[in-house]
Amino acid sequence: MVTYGERMTPDDETQEAVFRALADSSRRRLLDLLHARGGQSLTELEEEFAMTRFGVMKHLRVLSDAGLVVTRKQGRKTLHFLNPVPIRLVHDRWIDKYTEPQVATLAGLVPLLEGASPEEG
């Protein structure tokens, strides 16, 4: 396991938790299920997995600790909801800045390609 020194900021710790949470396919599946329909109970979510109730609870805890899932009590039920904000922050920090030059280049090619005749290829 990698350990970090004191130079790690709270934002870095948050993003580290998000990356760690997204690294597991079961957790990504839970996020997909909550994206499709928010407000699901543990019982509803565990029906989608070939693992124990405790296993699903552990995955939900990791997602919750990363801020990706929020829970709300409704009577006796605890409902789970997707919080997409941490994923968006990771996108803005790590994905968007790396794709912007490539997208601008591709967008610049569109007029050139649309102006080409079929014989020109």
pLDDT of res. 14? 85
Residue-wise pLDDT for 65-105, tens only, equals: 999 999 999 999 999 999 999 999 888 887 777 777 777 77
Identify the band that residue 7 occupies on the pLDDT scale cut at 50, 70 and 90. Answer: low
Q: b/e string for 78-114 if b means 16 or more Cβ within 10 A?
A: ebbebbeebbeebeeeeeeeeeeeeeeeeeeeeeeee
pLDDT of res. 94? 79
* Mean pLDDT rounded to a whole number for the chain: 86
pTM score: 0.73
Higher pLDDT among residues 11 and 61, named by residue: 61
- Alpha-carbon Rg for the chain, nearest whole angstrom, is 21
Identify the band that residue 52 occupies on the pLDDT scale cut at 50, 70 and 90. Answer: very high
- Choosing among 1.10.1760.20, 1.10.10.10, 3.30.420.40, 2.60.290.11, the CATH entry for 10-113 is 1.10.10.10
The SS3 call for residue 36 is helix
